[in-house]
A and B are shown apart, each in its own frame.
Chain A
Amino acid sequence: MTTTVGTSHLDHCPTYGALSARELAAVRADFPLLERTVRQGRPLVYLDSAATSQKPTAVLDAEQDFYERRNAAVHRGAHQLAEEATEAFEGARAEVARFVGADVGEIVWTSGATAAINLVAYALSNATLGRGGAVAQRFALAPGDEIVITEAEHHANIVPWQELAARTGATVTYLPVDDEGRIDTSVVDRVITERARVVAFTHASNVTGAITDVAPIVRRAREVGALTVLDACQSVPHLPVDLHELGVDFAAFSGHKMMGPTGVGVLYGRRELLEALPPVTTGGSMIEVVTMTESTYMAPPQRFEAGTQMVAQAVALGAAAQYLGELGMDAIAAHEREMAAELLKIADLPGIRVVGPTDPENRLAVVSFVVEGVHAHDVGQILDDAGIAVRVGHHCAQPLHRRFGIVSTARASAAVYTSAQDVAAFRESLAGVRTFFGVND
């Protein structure tokens, strides 16, 4: 670990104040990429952490160290290296489980959140086909059943459900969002009907930054016996998340958004459910006995981890969880709340409209906006020229954009390494955009 500011910081600040300038400088020093320049020598201002985060040295080292000293096939092989590799791999699972308030057997490695959500959808599909035997029949879907999603979802939490509906005859319905982009939980009793079998919703929007009030959705889903699937992609990297406390049945998140590597992510499933669920991807490493006609499957999580796993990436994701844990998720959230407030000041610039809550409470430092008269791509280009990296487009959330009558937005998003100077540079550059395109009023 290269940084220990988290714990000492928390000792001194029981109310979880944000990072001091010194602490922030120490955090930034953990991220080598932040030192580089872009576009003819400009210092990089990275405001695209909601798309993917940068990686601290602790994570880079963990992956390199695994390959340099412990690389071997896990869960097999009677040699010392294999033992050490397995220990690192399973140790990372335990680390990640602790980090999100889950039991170790409830953490399934996947290639990312998208794969995790698809895993659930296909497992339900397989159960519908009769796979998994009698215990899996509780997951079977039938025509007339409903899969409830929300208008705030990333395509990764929409399309797999549309596909599942098409395969099973179920219908997709959705919870609407209000004018601030918050999922409207006042209508849960009406929208989540007795026919609902699955309720899939985001914990925090990657467009509006709005944090979902999970409790009323879980309450209603339980009332009607529907499974809950939480897209925790944006929450796990930025907020303290306790999955047991949230009480959801499944959750998905990606390593690369939480300072870990690409190619690894997590499906969380309540133990009892994972035990009853049939596998999706099948092959080696997930079976007990294979004959020429049939096979039996291992207990979860291995049942869902066919084939050689992304071992080095999982190990590095464990290091990422440890890094975040040491900084302290409360401290991270407090710092990012300050960054959200800084980012939201753009709402005061002429011709800028924020899409999402304009109050920094109950939202992430993810701020999408429209510049009146200038297309998001053109906004991004001007910012890029000043070394400022933002994302432009629909951010894989076309229905949400349609809800606001727009096709695309520009989005600035922060992480624990984002500084007020970063955001100030962004605001200054943004203030010049309308002049550049001659659309000043």
Chain B
Amino acid sequence: MSSLEQMYQQVILDHAKVLHGKGLVEPADGHVVGESHQVNTTCGDDVTLRVEIDESDPENPVVARLSWEGQGCSISQASISVLHDLVAGESVDAGERAGEVFRELMSSRGKGLDDDSEDLLGDATAFTGVSLYPARIKCALLGWAALRDSLVTSGVLTNKEQA
């Protein structure tokens, strides 16, 4: 497989065509909301990502809904779409963990991660090839930066977790 094909895996091209979670949704009553706007300064691409947190179990807050609006390249758009599938409906902790592992993947220089980590990421492992291109890592991380920041603005992350 050429490095170009490694980068533009079918999963990525498919997501880029049919974007999951796109279109900001009005939050439901009673949900805590966090929102973040992130810009990729090189190209001006941007995303606004909104999370709705269900805190009915205070021990285990859940990302009840995740929606977003934005524009960007196939890598950034597909990455947000995959993020949506990984994080929406899951616990905040799981979403945080996925973000951490995805960031690790992006610094793997094309080598990928161990099986456990890749299982956790599912479709998102398709971005392994992107980590070969320093200029595109930012594209893949745009949505994940917005997720991180929206969880912070929602107040579910404690200061310790933010650090």
Contacts and interface: CB of A to CB of B under 8 A. Distances in A.
Interaction A to B: yes
B44 A394 contact: yes
Contacts of A436: 8
A392 B133 contact: no
Given A378-B74, A378-B75, A385-B4, A398 B44 contact: yes
A408 interface: yes
Contacts of A377: 43, 45, 72-73, 75, 136, 139
A324 B55 CA distance: 68
Interface in B117-154: 133, 136, 139
Contacts of A374: 74
Which DSSP category, helix, strand, loop or mixed, fits chain A's interface? mixed
B7 A381 contact: yes
Given A378-B73, A381-B136, A437-B74, A394 B43 contact: yes
Contacts of B7: 381
Contacts of B42: 393
B42 to A, nearest CB: 5
Interface in A384-411: 385, 392-394, 398, 401, 407-408
A436 B44 CA distance: 24
A375 B73 CA distance: 5
B43 A408 contact: yes
B13 interface: yes
A381 B7 CA distance: 10
Contact of B43 (A381, A392, A437, A438): A392
Contact of A375 (B2, B4, B8, B72): B72
A382 interface: yes
B74 A393 contact: no
Contacts of A401: 44
Contacts of A392: 43
A437 B136 CA distance: 17
A381 B44 contact: no
Nearest to B77: A375
A376 interface: yes
Contact of B74 (A40, A375, A394, A407): A375
B71 interface: yes
Given A393-B44, A398-B44, A376 B73 contact: yes
A33 to B, nearest CB: 19
B35 to A, nearest CB: 21
B73 to A, nearest CB: 4
B3 interface: yes
Interface centre among A381, A382, A398, by most B CB within 10 Å?
A: A381
Interface in A42-101: none
Contacts of B72: 375, 377
15 contacts: A375-B72, A376-B43, A377-B72, A378-B74, A381-B4, A381-B8, A382-B4, A385-B2, A385-B4, A393-B42, A407-B44, A408-B45, A437-B13, A437-B16, A437-B74
Interface of B: 2-4, 7-8, 13, 16-17, 42-45, 71-75, 133, 136, 139
Given A376-B43, A393-B42, 9 more contacts: A377-B75, A378-B74, A381-B7, A385-B3, A392-B43, A398-B44, A407-B45, A436-B8, A438-B17
Interface of A: 39-40, 374-378, 381-382, 385, 392-394, 398, 401, 407-408, 436-438
Sort A-B residue pairs by CB-CB distance and give the 8 closest, nearest first: A375-B73, A377-B73, A393-B43, A385-B4, A407-B44, A408-B43, A394-B44, A393-B42
